[in-house]
Amino acid sequence: MIGLAFTYLVALGLLGIGAGALLAPRVSARQYGIVLDDARALAFIRAMGARDVVLGVLLLLLASTERRDLLALGVVASAAVAAVDFVVVSRDRPPAPARARLLHAGGALGLLVVGVAVASGL
Q: State the pTM of this model.
A: 0.88
Position 90 confidence tier, pLDDT thresholds 50, 70, 90 = confident
Cis? peptide before 95, omega within 30° of 0: no
CB-side exposure of 32: number of CA atoms within 13 Å? 30
pLDDT tens for 49-76 read 999 999 999 999 999 998 999 999 999 9
Task: Name the residue range of residue 31's domain.
Answer: 2-119
On the question of pLDDT at 29 being above 90, the answer is no
Q: What is the largest CA-CA distance in the chain?
A: 46
For the chain, the domain total comes to 1
Position 41 confidence tier, pLDDT thresholds 50, 70, 90 = confident
**How far apart, in whole angstroms, are the C-alpha atoms of residue 63 and residue 50?**
20
Selection from 89, 77, 87, 80 nearest residue 32 by Cα: 89
Q: Residue 77's pLDDT is what? A: 95
DSSP string, 21-78: HHH-HHHHHHHHT---SSTTHHHHHHHHHHHHHHHHHHHHHHHTSS-HHHHHHHHHHH
